């Protein structure tokens, strides 16, 4: 009798819940794995860039990191459109209004291209002033200014590419996005190695290879977009307003992260010694850390589409369960990767950096910052779900608390004012994620996002 009761308990409390979760896990994985593959190739692309930059010296490596941060800051402004577009399009895609869906696609892509033109003009015009404004050391400033200008020449197509990738994810064509971005990454790696070994372009070849590969990928996506639009070339101002109303908080979040990251370089420049080496270590550390960000961001983007699609079908409870399931998978995958990277921290650092001073700083960065990675993974999964539901204002508020109330003030206080140097700054970077992940999870569990009407 007791054995039967135990079997019944196991079946009811363990086996059946697991069976119910399996379809959700399958859906999450199906949406996430192509994004992870794409990010793996992008990771190798960025590592190749930083490796080649190191061949030109620590000043060029630091300049490459600074220029990439500035470029990413402006690129992220385009994410306001993409975040809003994914939220709107993922619901429209599962609705019956296909004409409105095609119009929304056209409106989103054209708006992204137009915005890219404006950002290109700003970046090229003020490239030298940007490097000066960020308090870059003199030996870094000239290299950074040149790289910034080249990067911005290709930003029009990069803005459009990001938006079109969001459109494809909303249409459940994530494998198409993967194929295009893998092509771009491989082309970038080939070009940067070719420019370094067989041309006289020098360090500028790093930025040129990025601009060429991104432009090529964008052109491929444009051809795909014309097929999706299917001659529905209708620009809808109401749809644009809807996309912007949802996306602008996400744009503020992206801007805050990039501005905060860029401002961090200014704090690093205030260090009393080894500032250039520590900036180089930070640039390399971010590349290593990006290996962990790959699955975390993949599940973030997947969660946005999954929740958005299910909201469009009015399947609110399934959207809730799918969001939590995706978060669980994300944290599990990231935790395994953390163990691997921490156990091999010095070997990885020495593989990428010949300077022993920089290597020591890279190892220190890894040991400290890996502590926050599970919380970052949880936060990214939850914010992805909230963004997909259109609850972007809550996400914005939590991110602002993290960046401006905790991270940056503590970076200055611990690293500069109290003299804990680089270690104090690295600990400051961890500070906000514990709070932000708790707030984001609490918001998602509250289910208030289910009451948001978009279309």
- Written as tens digits, the pLDDT of the chain (455 aa) is 555 555 554 455 445 555 666 777 787 788 888 988 988 888 788 878 878 888 888 788 788 878 887 887 788 777 778 888 888 888 888 777 788 888 989 999 999 999 999 999 988 888 878 877 777 778 888 888 888 899 998 999 999 999 999 999 888 888 999 999 999 999 999 999 999 999 989 889 999 999 999 999 999 999 998 888 877 788 888 889 888 888 889 878 877 887 787 788 888 888 878 888 888 888 888 878 877 888 898 899 889 888 988 888 888 888 898 899 999 999 999 999 999 999 998 998 888 888 888 888 899 999 999 999 999 999 999 999 999 888 989 999 999 999 999 989 999 999 888 888 888 999 998 888 888 999 999 999 999 998 887 76
Neighbours of 64 (CB within 10 A): 26
Rounded distance between C-alpha atoms, residue 305 and residue 28, angstroms? 10
Domain count, the chain: 1
Residue with tokens 């860039």: 49
Q: Confirm whether 217 is domain-assigned.
A: yes
Rounded distance between C-alpha atoms, residue 164 and residue 405, angstroms? 34
Q: Confirm whether 271 is domain-assigned.
A: yes
pLDDT of residue 191: 96
Rounded distance between C-alpha atoms, residue 390 and residue 311, angstroms? 10
Q: Confirm whether 402 is domain-assigned.
A: yes
Q: Confirm whether 35 is domain-assigned.
A: yes
DSSP 8-state code for residue 415? I
Reading the block at residue 349, the tokens are: 């650092």
Domain that holds residue 182: 22-451
Q: Confirm whether 229 is domain-assigned.
A: yes
Rounded distance between C-alpha atoms, residue 82 and residue 58, angstroms? 35
Q: Confirm whether 1 is domain-assigned.
A: no
Q: Confirm whether 6 is domain-assigned.
A: no
Q: Confirm whether 14 is domain-assigned.
A: no
């Amino acid at each position: 009798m007791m054995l039967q009761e135990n079997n019944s308990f196991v079946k009811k409390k363990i086996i059946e819940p697991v069976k119910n979760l399996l379809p959700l896990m399958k859906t999450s994985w199906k949406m996430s794995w192509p994004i992870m593959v794409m990010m793996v190739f992008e990771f190798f692309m960025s590592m190749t860039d930083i490796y080649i930059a190191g061949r030109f010296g620590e000043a060029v490596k630091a300049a490459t990191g600074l220029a990439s941060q500035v470029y990413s800051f402006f690129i992220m402004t385009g994410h306001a459109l993409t975040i809003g577009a994914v939220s709107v399009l993922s619901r429209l895609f599962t609705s019956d209004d296909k004409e409105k869906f095609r119009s929304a696609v056209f409106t989103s892509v054209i708006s992204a291209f137009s915005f890219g033109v404006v950002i290109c003009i700003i970046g090229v015009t003020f490239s030298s002033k940007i490097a000066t404004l960020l308090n870059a050391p003199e030996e870094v400033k000239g290299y950074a200014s040149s790289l910034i200008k080249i990067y911005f020449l290709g930003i029009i197509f990069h803005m459009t590419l990001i938006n079109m990738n969001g459109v494809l994810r909303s249409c459940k064509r994530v494998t198409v996005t993967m194929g295009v971005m893998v092509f771009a990454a491989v082309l970038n790696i080939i070009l940067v190695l070719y420019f370094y070994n067989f041309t006289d372009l020098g360090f500028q070849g790093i930025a040129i290879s990025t601009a060429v590969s991104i432009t090529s990928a964008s052109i491929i996506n444009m051809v795909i977009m014309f097929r999706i639009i299917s001659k529905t070339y209708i620009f809808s101002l109401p749809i644009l307003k809807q996309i912007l109303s949802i996306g602008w908080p996400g744009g503020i979040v992206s801007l805050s992260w990039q501005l905060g990251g860029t401002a961090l370089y200014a704090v690093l420049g205030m260090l009393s010694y080894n500032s250039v080496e520590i900036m180089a270590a930070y640039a390399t550390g971010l590349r290593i850390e990006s290996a962990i960000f790959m699955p975390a961001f993949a599940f973030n983007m997947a969660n946005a589409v999954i929740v958005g699609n299910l909201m469009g079908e009015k399947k609110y409870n399934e959207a809730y369960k799918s969001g939590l399931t995706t978060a669980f998978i994300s944290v599990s995958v990231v935790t395994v990767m953390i163990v691997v990277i921490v156990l091999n921290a010095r070997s990885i650092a020495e593989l990428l950096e010949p300077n022993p001073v920089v290597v020591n700083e890279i190892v220190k960065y890894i040991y400290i910052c890996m502590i926050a990675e599970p919380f970052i993974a949880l936060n990214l999964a939850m914010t992805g779900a909230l963004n997909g539901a259109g609850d972007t204002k809550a996400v914005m508020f939590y991110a602002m608390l993290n960046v401006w109330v905790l991270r940056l003030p503590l970076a200055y206080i611990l690293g500069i004012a109290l003299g804990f140097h680089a270690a104090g700054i690295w600990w400051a970077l961890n500070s906000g994620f514990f709070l932000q992940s708790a707030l984001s999870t609490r918001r998602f569990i509250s289910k208030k996002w289910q009451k948001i009407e978009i279309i």
